[in-house]
Amino acid sequence: MDQMKLTGQSRIDAQQAFRHGRQADFDLTKELEQFRHVTQGRAELSQMFLEIQIQTALSDGELHANEKQILSIIANKLGMASQLDALLARWQAEFSHHQSPQGNKMPLTDAYVMLGLADSASDQDIKRAYRKLMNEHHPDKLVAKGLPEEMMALAKTKAQDIQAAYECIKTSRGMR
């Protein structure tokens, strides 16, 4: 809630939704169907929602089995099951980067994971992956697609992490 800069009624609503989601009678499937209906199946909003759930699951630095199971259900219901493992790997690399005592220096292995690539990827593949991820996560593009203002801080951080990963790889390879 702090990262999304939620204040006032928005913060109260988010806290109530969180408490509601923790109740034993919470129907995740029903809520996800309603979410898909409200967002009209827009992939970028579904992905952002799933990424927020991943970020929440990783907030303590670990992904517990029950959290992975819930994320799998969410990904399946949103039609993103095939993307879940890659998204998890990227978010775990980002979390590791932000928790690192090395400051802003990103480990090269994390940079490749964040771009969804192996270290054997060609320079062209690296540029292509970078452009694709920036296209998906750039705050200006997301606003134009209807991303709520409250989520812009997350989008900005994500775009900065993608940029940092790309710069780390470029530097290590001597790319222009």
Count of domains observed in the chain: 1
Judge whether 1 lies within some domain.
no
DSSP states along 97-164: HHH-TTTTPPPHHHHHHHTT--TT--HHHHHHHHHHHHHHH-HHHHHHTT--GGGHHHHHHHHHHHHH
Judge whether 2 lies within some domain.
no
Judge whether 3 lies within some domain.
no
Judge whether 17 lies within some domain.
yes
**What single-letter DSSP state applies at residue 24?**
T
Structure tokens at 82: 């095939």
Contact 94, 86 (CB under 8 A): no
Q: Which residues contact 64 (CB under 8 A, 6 or more apart)?
A: 57
| pLDDT, tens digit only, all 176 positions of the chain | 666 667 788 788 888 888 888 888 999 999 999 988 888 878 878 888 898 888 888 877 788 999 999 999 999 999 999 999 988 988 888 877 776 665 567 889 889 999 999 999 999 999 999 999 998 888 777 777 666 676 777 778 888 889 999 999 999 999 98
What pLDDT score was predicted for residue 4?
64
Measured CA to CA, the distance from residue 154 to residue 48 in angstroms comes to 9
Distance of CA 145 to the CA centre of its chain: 17
Within 10 angstroms of residue 73's Cβ, the number of other Cβ atoms is 14
53 is in which domain, residue-wise?
8-173
What pLDDT score was predicted for residue 18?
81
What pLDDT score was predicted for residue 167?
93
Judge whether 69 lies within some domain.
yes
What pLDDT score was predicted for residue 84?
93
Judge whether 65 lies within some domain.
yes
What pLDDT score was predicted for residue 168?
92
Judge whether 151 lies within some domain.
yes
Judge whether 38 lies within some domain.
yes
pTM above 0.85, yes or no: no
- Residue 171 phi/psi, 5-degree rounding, is -65, -45
